[in-house]
Structure 1
Amino acid sequence: MSESELYLSITPVKVSEIPSEEAIIKAGKQILESTMSWKQGKTYQHNKVKTFSRSKGPKDGAGWYCRVSEHTKEDATFDELWSKLGENKAENEMQFIPEIKTVTLIERISPTQTIWSLEYHFPPPISPRIFTVLHTAVLSTESPRTGIIVSIPVDVSENAEYVKKEAKGAKGRYVAVERLRELEDGKVEWRMATSSTPGGSIPQFIAESSMASTISRDVTHFLEWLHKNRGKEQTSTSGDAAA
């Protein structure tokens, strides 16, 4: 399959076959554009988070789910959102997504591309799941600013050094596309689309039955974490300077 035909799904790509950054971002934009016609589902968090879905297609390994929320500067500025989601994404997610227990950097390919292994813990009897993904994050500073983060599943089995770094456990897979976009009214739209499977013996329909509510809660978790830590970095920097 040529890069011009790249289609995002939960099928992992081998490290030796990782597509170009341009191809990944192009495929991510196509997914985002398609969400405009997806079936609307429930709204969550006092009607602030809208959800949408698309049934599994012939090229998909699972159904797709999307959430959209708009944020004022009091919620989170564009710079705040990008600094936490577009930079050091896995490490930051571990701070506000309760299910993520460990993250390991496997390879920093470039300033905009990194491979991570994330360990998720779920309520018993589900055993921990390992998700190994490539994060590609690109920021456009043209007005209105837009940032896109694409996460695709990666198979690192052909690289012994990568295998050593990868967390051990049952493997799940997910693909996700996120876009941060400045709006004319000063707000920021945060749009995220994802498809996933926990792997193991968990029926896919059970995993997907709670997907909309799960991804909507991530918005609340993020904002609570952000607000709790607002100003701490500046305070720490100021303290270091004074010392």
Structure 2
Amino acid sequence: MAIDTPLLTITPLKPSEIPSEETIITEGIALIESTSSWPEGKTFFNNIKTLYHAKRSGDGAPWHVRLSEHAPEELTFDQLWENLAIDKPVKEKEFIHEIQKVTKVKELSPTASIWTLYYTFTPPVSPRVFTVLQVVRLQETKPRTGIIVSLSIDLSSKGDEELAKLQEKGVKGRYVSVERIKELDNGNTEWRMATSSTPGGSIPNFIVESTMAKKIASVR
């Protein structure tokens, strides 16, 4: 089904608007490859670079990138793929203490599922709910490459009531992300993630944007 907004944006999709997995992966690859020319920002923890891109036409928020390279003795391709592509929200709950609950809303295929994540924060910040579609693709030929695309999903439409019941109550946040893990010629693995997001509610955008680079660099 055709959609009226760009696919890789924080504007949420209804389940009925979800395009083919091939379309999602193709657009994800195009975006992550384009980040090679984005301006560099700060480097954190000695080896995690960040990049930035202002809002483009159709974007709802700016983009941020975290980029790191890992030797096999530190982190392998298989370990990264296991954590980023297999039930990723479940893994995130293990190291992001604000996530209190994750629920698989619907499995669309072996490589595409809708998840909802419930976050709580120190008052007065209200709880947030992020509902996303995760689509993954693994290229087994050398050099191996894995792509993980997460798109924001809206379950408020007629016909999605049963799915919406699986969401917790809270302010609706939105995010979109593309992650690529890639085997390099030197035997290391590159991990590159691009994300755009909004927490929703009344939190000023400048506060969110000012902390985003360090926040995504802390995902290790």
TM-score bucket of the superposed structures, by smaller chain: over 0.9
Shift of 1:39: 1.3
Structural mapping, 1:100-179, within 5 Å: 100-158=99-157, 159-179=160-180
Q: Which has the larger radius of gyration?
A: 1
RMSD: 1.4
TM-score, structure 2 as length reference: 0.95
Shift of 1:114: 0.5
Is contact 2:99-2:118 (8 Å) kept? yes
Query: How many residues are paired up?
Result: 217
Bigger Cα displacement from structure 2, 128-137 vs 156-165: 156-165
- 2:12 maps to 12
Query: How high is the sequence identity, in percent, across the aligned residues?
Result: 53
TM-score, structure 1 as length reference: 0.86
Any unmatched runs of 5+ in structure 1? 220-243
Is contact 1:6-1:23 (8 Å) kept? no
Which secondary structure state, in structure 1, belongs to the residue aligned with residue 185 of structure 2? coil
CA distance in 1, matches of 2:168, 2:143: 39
Structural mapping, 1:50-129, within 5 Å: 50-129=49-128
Shift of 1:89: 0.7
- 2:191 maps to 190
- 1:214 maps to 215
Shift of 1:123: 3.0
CA distance in 2, matches of 1:155, 1:30: 24
Q: Which amino acid aligns with 2:31?
A: I
CA distance in 1, matches of 2:188, 2:127: 37
CA distance in 1, matches of 2:19, 2:97: 31
The superposition leaves residues 39-73 of structure 1 with CA deviations (integer Å, 9 ceiling, x where unpaired) of: 1100001x210000001122110000001001111
Bigger Cα displacement from structure 2, 161-170 vs 116-125: 116-125
Shift of 1:132: 0.2
Q: Which amino acid aligns with 1:121?
A: T
The superposition leaves residues 158-203 of structure 1 with CA deviations (integer Å, 9 ceiling, x where unpaired) of: 2111011112111000000000100111110000000000000111
Q: Which amino acid aligns with 1:120?
A: Y
- 1:44 maps to 44
Is contact 1:6-1:27 (8 Å) kept? no
Is contact 2:2-2:19 (8 Å) kept? no
- 1:230 maps to none
CA distance in 1, matches of 2:123, 2:187: 43
Which secondary structure state, in structure 2, belongs to the residue aligned with residue 155 of structure 1? coil
Runs of 4+ in 1 over 4 A off after TM superposition: none
Which secondary structure state, in structure 2, belongs to the residue aligned with residue 179 of structure 1? strand
Which secondary structure state, in structure 2, belongs to the residue aligned with residue 11 of structure 1? coil
- 1:22 maps to 22
CA distance in 2, matches of 1:69, 1:128: 31
CA distance in 2, matches of 1:116, 1:32: 22
CA distance in 1, matches of 2:39, 2:141: 31
